[in-house]
Amino acid sequence: MPIAIKDVSDKLTAIIEPSEGVYVASCPELDLATEGNTPEEALNDLVDMTIDYAEQYMEEFEHFSRSPNRASHKPYILEIHERRTKEKVRELFN
């Protein structure tokens, strides 16, 4: 099993792996995962999902920011919210 050690930053990680004829894209910092027919499609879907999650988080900010399994997402969510466009949010993924 590969192990990656990552410093905490405002960057998000996109892990894209082939799985049963599709590509699965996951973001461990936000506990999100999606899939696509190509790596690019999977990444695009992950960016869309990230934006949707950030919008939901902001709508329920007080609840989510205090939730044990979502509080650590707060700095990322604030950065995503500030960037607003799909292109700028995509820049967060390294």
Give tens-digit pLDDT for 16-65.
999 999 999 999 999 999 999 999 999 999 999 999 999 999 999 999 99
pLDDT at 84: 83
The domain spanning residue 81 has which CATH number? 3.30.160.620
Q: Is the pLDDT of residue 4 over 90?
A: no
77 located within any domain? yes
| Helix residue ranges per DSSP H, 12-70 | 39-59, 61-64
The answer to whether position 3 is within a domain reads no
Q: Please give the model's pTM, rounded to 2 decimal places.
A: 0.87
What is d(CA 15, CA 25) in angstroms, rounded to the nearest whole number? 5
Instruction: Answer whether residue 9 is part of any domain.
Output: no
Q: How many domains does the chain have?
A: 1
Q: Confirm whether 60 is domain-assigned.
A: yes
Find the distance separating the first CA and the last CA of the chain, reported in whole Å.
21
Domain that holds residue 49: 15-89
Residue 5 domain-assigned?
Answer: no
- Residue 86 reports pLDDT greater than 60: yes
